[in-house]
Amino acid sequence: MKLSDEIVLYLYRILQTAPMQYVAYSELYAHVRKSQGSVLENEFTGALRYLVGKRYIQEEAAYYRLISEGVEYAQNLINPPVDYPQKSFLEQVRGNEVQEKSYRTTIKSNQLAIIGIALTTFLSCIGLSLQFLINNTAEQKPQYQNPPTPTFSQPILMPVTVSTVTPQVFSTLTFCYKSELDINNQCTVSRTIFPSPVTDVCVSWTPSPLYKGSSFRRVWQNTTTGKSHQNESYDTYGCLYWSADTGLSVGQYQVDLYANNIFVQSGNFVIIVASSSAPIMMQISERQGVDATGAIIYKEIYFIDTDGDADYVTYRLISYTNIDPKDIKILNDDIKSGPDEQKTGAIVEAPWWCKQKYHNYTILLEARIVDNAKNQSEPFDLEFYCK
């Protein structure tokens, strides 16, 4: 079995028992070595990059989980589709002859059915005429009609059960303190930063009327510590409570919303130390482009700085494969967003130009966001895979 298929099947088995749980890099590598014997780490990391590029798995700070395309691929590995052989030309001709005979037989049957219907209608008319004469000569009896069937002006909407739910039918997830919920249990303000200590965080949303009465499940995950919690109800809001003595842990949180066990969308917030003034990295996404020199990979770094003075992103080379280190040039990236934008959430791009003379190589960098006072964010990894 291919190394990448072994990884997909293992993550699929994890998904069956613990939905939305990430699996650590070390656990994946240990499983692969146990099932396939001696496997070089660069082969393993290459397989992971291939699966991330194919959008079969999602990577989050050296943790991995299977996403929808990967689930479909794993199911095809377990139950491969059957490819039935094509019929020969002679079989098709014979089949057409059988269909033509069947068609002629159907026409004759329909003609006989029409004649039968006409004869039955004629006899029914004669019978009705005789019944009319009998009714007029017999004693009149009171007639009672059945009560009319009630009609409804609008259809009754039931909780829907569909295979996919799109975020377009839901509002975005909004986070706030419980004290900031209105009488309809909807957040009156939208927060992405909660200074510690925090004992409760609530999330609200507005679904389409089609999803009224559905079961909504929230999966709260601290992506910094890896701990997660779940709660489920029929309400269009949910809260996470914690002891007043300890409070919710400092770190980045991701909330995944499900409607009738179907994933809808995610939202993010962060709990920071009240006295902290260093920038905080929230999440990383990737997009690709191209110019005259070749392919470009952009890492879009979403961050927050409560002081609004984030200045640049600095990098340190951790590892590389299939490339001469002399051709690796690393420069800082300036942050162009303004103070107001940084306080609520801003994005800085980290581009990497793939060199055309190398193929299938990887670059792993450690990145930090630095502000004007030289405060630095916690380090985070950026990995670039050039085909």
pLDDT digits (tens, 9 = 90+) for 41-74: 778 788 888 888 888 888 877 788 888 888 888 8
Distance CA 338, CA 97 (A): 76
The whole-number average pLDDT for the span 26-42 is 77
For 360-387, what is the mean pLDDT?
92
Mean pLDDT, the chain, integer:
80
CB atoms within 10 A of CB 212: 13
Domain at 3-78, CATH from 1.20.1050.90, 4.10.490.10, 3.90.1150.10, 1.10.10.10: 1.10.10.10
If you write DSSP's letter for every residue of 97-156 in order, what string do you get?
HHHHHHHHHHHHHHHHHHHHHHHHHHHHHHHHHHHHHHHHHSPP----PPPPPP--SSPP
The pLDDT value recorded for residue 309 is 92
Return the CATH architecture of domain 167-272: Sandwich (2.60)
Highest mean pLDDT among 207-211, 212-216, 323-327: 323-327
Residue 249 CB partners (closer than 8 Å, separation 6+): 222, 224, 225, 227, 271
C-alpha 364/C-alpha 61 separation (Å) is 12
CATH of domain 280-386: 2.60.40
CA proximity to 364, closest of 323, 327, 319, 332? 319
pLDDT-derived band at 140 (thresholds 50, 70, 90) equals low
Distances (CA, A) of 188 to 12, 171, 184, 196, 318: 39, 14, 10, 21, 44
| CA max distance for the chain | 114
Q: Rounded to an integer, what distance in angstroms lies between the CA atom of residue 91 and that of residue 86?
A: 10
CATH 1.10.10.10 maps onto the chain at 3-78
Whether the upstream peptide bond of residue 197 has omega within 30° of 0, thus cis, is yes
> What was the pLDDT predicted at 193?
84
The C-alpha atoms of residue 46 and residue 48 are separated, in whole angstroms, by 5
Per-residue pLDDT for 158 more than 50?
A: no
Q: What angle do CA 68, 72, 74 make, to 5 degrees?
A: 110
Contact 205, 171 (CB under 8 A): yes
Question: In this predicted structure, what is the pLDDT of residue 310?
Answer: 94
Give the pLDDT score at 162: 41
Q: In a 3-state reduction of DSSP, which class is residue 206?
A: coil
Give the confidence band of 150 by pLDDT, cuts at 50, 70, 90: very low
| Alpha carbon distance 224, 24 (integer Å) | 13
Q: Using 50, 70 and 90 to split pLDDT, how confident is the model at 87?
A: low
| % of the chain residues with pLDDT over 70 | 78
Token pair of 206 as six digits:
């507005």
Cα–Cα distance for residue pair 46/28, rounded to 1 Å = 13
**pLDDT, mean of residues 182-187:** 91
In the chain, where does the domain assigned CATH 2.60.40.10 lie? 167-272
Q: Is the pTM of this model over 0.85?
A: no
Lowest-confidence segment of 134-143, 222-231, 244-253 by average pLDDT: 134-143
pLDDT band at 90 (very low <50, low <70, confident <90, very high): low
Angular region, 276: left φ>0, alpha ψ -120 to 50, beta rest: beta
The segment with the largest mean pLDDT, out of 19-23, 145-149, 220-224, 307-311, is: 307-311
Provide the terminal-to-terminal Cα distance of the chain, rounded to the nearest Å: 23
> Quick one: pLDDT band at residue 29, thresholds 50, 70, 90?
confident
